A and B are shown apart, each in its own frame.
Chain A
Amino acid sequence: MSSFLRCWWWVFLLVAVGLGLWRLRFDVDVLDLLPPDERAVQGLKLYQQHFTDARELILTMRAPDAETAERLAGELAHFLRLQTNLVEDVTWQPPWMEHPEQLGELLGWLWFNQAPKDFDTLTNRLAADHLRSVLEQTKQVLATSMSPMDLARREFDPFDLLMMPALTNLTSFSGGQDQQMFASADGKFRVLYVESAVDLTGYHPCEGWLKAIRAVLDKLKSGQEKGAWKGVVVRYTGRPVFVREIASSMQRDMSHSVGATSVIIALLFWLVHRRLRPMLWLLALLMLIMGATLALGGLVLGTISVVSMGFAAVLLGLAVDYAVVHYQEALAHPQLSVPEIRRVIAPSILWAAITTTSAFLALNCSGLPGLGQLGTLVAIGIALSALVMVMIYLPPLFPERRKPRPNQPPLRWWNYFVAAREPTANESTGSIGHSGFALLLTGLILLGAGAVVCVRRPGIDRSGNALQPQHGEAQTAMEEMTTELGLPPQPLWLIVSGHDESEVYRRLTNAEELLDAAKDHRLIGRYLLPAALWPRAEYQGVNRKTAAILGTKGPQLRDAALAEGFNTNALVLTEELVRSWAQASDSAGVLWPTNHLSQWLLKRFVARTPKNDFVMGLVYPATHSAGDAALTDLSKHLAQDHALLSGWTLLGEATLKRVESRMWVVVMPMMALVLLSLLLAFRRAKEILLGGAVLGLSVICLLATMTLAGWSWNLMNLMALPLILGTGVDYTLFIQLALRRHGGDLAVVRRSVGRALILCGGTAVAGFGSLGFSSNPGMASLGRVCAVGIGANVLISVFLLPAWWTLYGSKFKVQSQ
């Protein structure tokens, strides 16, 4: 290759890196890890997008007693409301307790949505000659009822206008949430909903805003009421806290795992070689490769999920192998020039890189886009590492050996791929004593691990736990809130969408029919759908005329109530209702309520965009249901009419099914590729079989370890299998090619490649192992399983494989003689 072309390769790479950096974006949404065409994922995304307020922070407060909790919650709300640059609003008790008059608009709207025949009855009920009897009836109730609800209601509703079908549903839909949303039964636990005054779409605004809110709270806690706050625990949750936690845990994961892996690499390298310059040069190249990989990843993928950032540690652990093998070979053969070493070692590196790259690229077929991204990033990094380490690592370390020797044959491009044919005459020169021990060890491992696997194998976790964020403050506070407020844990969300109100209503009623049937079959326990609250365009159209009549009733109702001994306090709600009807009669199109209270209530289950309307219901699976498969079936039927049933439990089952179904699509080609690379590298049945045996024994060891450690397979770590196959094959390649090169001299092989592979294996295990500390449980389990599998692989390759190779080689020779 001419120096001109070589130069342009690097320029091309630099331009690509620059473009990639410009295009690179990060995505903190864990759901983007999951297949976008999965119904449960679509439902969860809609839920997060439209029903978890991106600007709503939830503060929970636990105090020693109910009085303190209520007082301090009120004070905190008041104090936060004063921070108008930070906070738009704080809701710490049912909004209708602070602004009961605002209920009028919502109730008037609910009446306006009733069937015309029901709405028409109001004109009779409020006819001038009926008013007196209605009011007398109210006074009778007020004089004799012992129901606190009746008394509270009728005092402010003398004309009994709150008596309508929709209101029963409203009460049940809010799940008694009037007070339940804000305080525990014993009153010691309170919840405040804080609406931000600033946009919180990104990580940095969330971080800054939460910091400012914490400062406000600290100021209040250290103020005059300092003593009262003693023993009071305040926690933060809600979407802004989750966004900040996910993003910061990504930063932590990245810095910790990359830092830890780099330290381990440096340490192992130092222990093996005790040379500073090659170690520092190696670390510098690794950092360069990591940065370039991220940039090229940005170029290929555009937006990168933060969870995929675990690639960095894995890449470090794997990329270092190529440099170490190279360096070890250079030390073992001081007579060889750098191009000669390249000639000797490049085929092993390139085939190893191809299999590893393929294994990681195969993750794109896993059905999990996040895992696919991780695979693509590692694959890019491995390819880049192979290139960089083969071409750049050695020359600065051995400047005197840079030039080819004069009698050296020229290096052709295919020399990088085809291993030199070495003499095989003295293949079986290994120590028989050592081989015997290694074979005994092989038998013991096979027996021990096999026995464990025969008795019990790791189970499969079908839940969505592997996808859920690990326990941070936000999750802890959310769980505490669910328990304290007595909310049902893990309901399923049903999200119905449509282009307009009529379409949504039709789909809502269809969904209701399916849910009724599911309830009858005890597949679900109960469900709450706000169908009765959804605006009916056709009813509103007819009701406008009646609303116009009712809208003029204000003075008449007022006079009648005053004449019956009521005072003006009793008429606030009635007058608001009448006003809302007057406004409804003048409205055009589908009418929605607009005041603060209505908005606050409706946003819990209604979302509207310029193109679509969404409504959310809750579905509670039966305690002893027919299982997740039946729920998945229900979800399929519901989805046929744009009603998406979703929840973490459903998501886990659906995604695992998808991963399981694709498992063979990933593993079979992977096995074929491994075989092909073994075939191309060795072109001998013996070595191919031995390579397969190493992989097989590693998998048995992995299964035994998982069983003993109590780990189970989940939808993320299942993909460790192709990774272990793809990366594990490298070690058998390196060892067997070295055995061949050195004529089966175990001592030389161990000193050169064996030593290097222990170092490589150690770094790979460190890389995957540090992923095991990821804040994402799925990624962490993937890291742990890979670390064990690859650890087993490298140990078997270095300590047992040479003995097998020697023994098999002798037999082979005896048979062939």
Chain B
Amino acid sequence: MLPVLAVAVSHGASNEAEFDKWFAVQTNIQSWSADFIQTRSLRVLVQPLTTPGKVWVKPDEFRWELGQPVQTIVLRQPDQLLVIYPRLKRAEEYPLNAVPSGPFKDAFALLDASLPHDRATMERQFHLLSAEVTNSVLQMTLQPRSESGRKFIREIIIGFHTNDFTIATTEMRFADGSSLRNDLTNVVLNRPMDAKLFETNLPPDYTVAEPLRQ
């Protein structure tokens, strides 16, 4: 019994160390980009839905493009989150300072924190529930600390490659049983990015809505 326990403890300790290393690597990353496959498992569908996409990330900003051709663009700017639907010529603005306190704000905070830069920031928002290595990918399962946050997002999973510490997967498991998983490939670190990627530049014929102010 004792040897099994000792192995488990040492294994847990090594995962913690790996996780710390991953954070250490994050501090040296100024930007990264990747391709991904997004898989949405919904409780009303028998089979999950998959969509390819691309992501560009730099501190406090990111751009997710979903679909080929692009169906949805999510643009995180320092002061707002913009969701653009090019096909529908529609955009939704979510000013980050206008998000009212409560579950919505918690959910936004969780989305932000799901791509953490440092461990302290992450631990303010999440408990570390478990860590396990599968196919050289360390998967950390995190649980939102706030009860109202858990009403939306039950768990967040972050997986990274143990060899180069690049991100491999992110997954959000929602309270209703559905989930949204991104499997990332072709991760490129610290390569200069076109600043226009993070600019809004909406064509004039787009309809812009602010759902939080309705």
Contacts and interface: CB of A to CB of B under 8 A. Distances in A.
Interface of A: 66-67, 70, 139-140, 142-147, 149, 155-156, 158, 171-172, 176, 183-187, 565-567, 569-570
A187 B103 contact: yes
B66 interface: yes
Given A142-B42, A143-B50, 6 more contacts: A140-B71, A144-B66, A146-B72, A565-B45, A565-B46, A567-B45
Given A67-B148, A187-B148, A146 B47 contact: no
B139 to A, nearest CB: 24
B183 to A, nearest CB: 15
B74 interface: yes
Given A66-B148, A567-B44, A146 B83 contact: yes
Contacts of B103: 66, 187
A368 B71 CA distance: 66
A640 B127 CA distance: 65
Nearest to B73: A146
A147 B66 contact: no
Nearest to A176: B214
Given A176-B214, A187-B101, A139 B44 contact: no
B67 A187 contact: no
B211 A186 contact: no
B211 A143 contact: no
* Interface-centre pick from B44, B92, B146 (highest chain A CB count, 10 A): B44
B49 interface: yes
A570 B100 CA distance: 31
A139 B45 contact: yes
Nearest to A156: B44
8 closest A-B pairs by CB: A185-B100, A570-B44, A144-B71, A143-B49, A186-B101, A67-B147, A187-B102, A146-B83
Contacts of A146: 66, 72, 74, 83
9 contacts: A66-B102, A144-B66, A144-B67, A158-B44, A185-B100, A187-B148, A565-B46, A565-B47, A566-B44
* Interface-centre pick from B45, B46, B50, B74 (highest chain A CB count, 10 A): B45
A140 B45 CA distance: 12
Nearest to A184: B102
Interface string B41-55: 011111101110000
A736 B158 CA distance: 100
Interface in B26-76: 38, 40, 42-47, 49-51, 66-67, 71-72, 74
A176 B92 CA distance: 17
B40 A143 contact: yes
* Interface-centre pick from A139, A144, A565 (highest chain B CB count, 10 A): A144
A247 to B, nearest CB: 38
A183 B211 CA distance: 18
Contact of A186 (B44, B50, B83, B100): B100
B211 A147 contact: yes
A185 B45 CA distance: 33
B12 to A, nearest CB: 30
Contacts of A149: 211
A567 B83 CA distance: 29
Contacts of B40: 142-143
Contacts of A565: 45-47
Contacts of B72: 144-146
Contact of B102 (A142, A158, A186): A186
Contact of A143 (B51, B74, B146, B214): B51
B49 A139 contact: yes
B66 A569 contact: no
Given A145-B72, A147-B92, A567 B102 contact: no
A745 B136 CA distance: 119
A171 B44 CA distance: 25
Nearest to B50: A143
Interface in B193-209: none
Contacts of A66: 102-103, 147-148
Contacts of B101: 185-187
Nearest to A70: B148
A158 to B, nearest CB: 8
A183 B104 CA distance: 13
Nearest to B45: A565
A277 to B, nearest CB: 71
A569 B43 contact: yes
A186 B49 CA distance: 34
Interface string B88-105: 000010000000111100
Contacts of B71: 140, 143-144
Contact of B46 (A143, A171, A566): A566
Nearest to A145: B72
Contacts of A139: 45, 49
Contacts of B38: 143
Nearest to B214: A176
Contacts of B47: 565
Contacts of B43: 155, 567, 569
Nearest to B146: A67
B83 to A, nearest CB: 5
B199 to A, nearest CB: 19
Contact of B44 (A67, A147, A155, A187): A155
A186 B105 CA distance: 9
Contacts of B66: 144, 146
Nearest to B51: A143
A156 B176 CA distance: 13
A430 B47 CA distance: 112
Contacts of B100: 185-186
Contacts of B42: 142, 155
B74 A567 contact: no
Nearest to A187: B102
B201 to A, nearest CB: 19
A388 B146 CA distance: 76
Interface in B72-88: 72, 74, 83, 85
